[in-house]
Amino acid sequence: MTPDPTHLRKPQPPRVHCSVCGYDLSGLSQGALCPECATPVHQSIQGNPLEYSDPEYVRRLYRGVLVIITGIILQLLLSIVSVVWGLTGTMPTIANEAINLAGLVGWIALLVGWWLFSTLDPAYLWGNSGPKARVWLRGSLITLVLINLVFAALSVLQPQPQTGGSSSVLFSLGLLALGVSAVQFFAAMLYLRWLAPRLPDDEVDAWARRLMWLGPLLVTVGALIVVGPLIAMVLYWNLLDRVRRNLKQIMHRQSSSG
């Protein structure tokens, strides 16, 4: 019997893929260019900072974080108006409807913004879907949309007054939406922690890690002092705005070097 020579084989070096287009660069020297997009090979070997990623991908991230910040600011302003109005007197029906509509717009902005911001890097198209947090984030966004569509359909189709059974269904959907929203928040923080070294910005990682426990604490226990959720939204906005500034600097360096 011929002995198995597999133990004599030399270990294969890890494959290197282009950080811009994902092309397999195995066998090329560091001084070469990617045959697909002409990106210097040494940029892909030294790591995957966003500065060396596809400029269109970076711009998409920037647009996404802008939309997220817009949604946060809108919901923050509405929360302040609601608190102040609630302390000063009864809110007129038309004002309450306007606030609900603006709140819906802010919620949609957050969904759309996170969807754009979690766009798959072209450098990951060759073999995987990027960080697992991105998959959980997008999955939770889709689930939230589906839950709210079902909730809206039941609210419209169910005749008034609602029966006990229909009320329990709507209540269950509300609890489910709350749980999925929690998954979305934690996935978003993990996604930001994955992105932080690519900016690179250690403060983004530190604040995302901090908000993973501080955010839920402020929204739940902090609600007892009214301003807890407002503080959480301010910290949330500050974190995303820091990411926005980093992306803006990266786009500026890319345009200067291009």
pLDDT in tens, 129-164: 567 899 999 999 999 999 999 888 887 776 555 555
The length of the chain in residues reads 258
pTM, to two decimals: 0.79
Helix axes 132-157, 164-195, angle to 10 degrees: 160
Dihedral through CA 52, CA 53, CA 58, CA 61, nearest 10? -130
CB 191 within 8 A of CB 179: no
For residues 71 and 111, what is the distance between their CA atoms, to the nearest angstrom? Answer: 9
- pLDDT averaged over the chain? 84
Report, in angstroms and rounded to the nearest whole number, the Rg of the chain calculated over CA atoms.
24
3-class SS of residue 37: coil
Q: Which of 57, 52, 45 is nearest to 17 (CA)?
A: 45
| Average pLDDT rounded to a whole number, residues 216-226 | 88
For residues 203 and 209, what is the distance between their CA atoms, to the nearest angstrom? Answer: 10
Percent of the chain with pLDDT over 90: 45
Helices (H), the chain: 41-45, 55-88, 93-117, 132-157, 164-195, 202-220, 228-257
pLDDT in tens, 42-53: 766 666 789 888
| Average pLDDT rounded to a whole number, residues 116-136 | 78
| Average pLDDT rounded to a whole number, residues 71-76 | 91
Q: Which of 94, 85, 19 is nearest to 49 (CA)?
A: 19
CB 79 within 8 A of CB 219: no
Burial class (CB in 10 A: 0-12, 13-18, 19+), 128: exposed
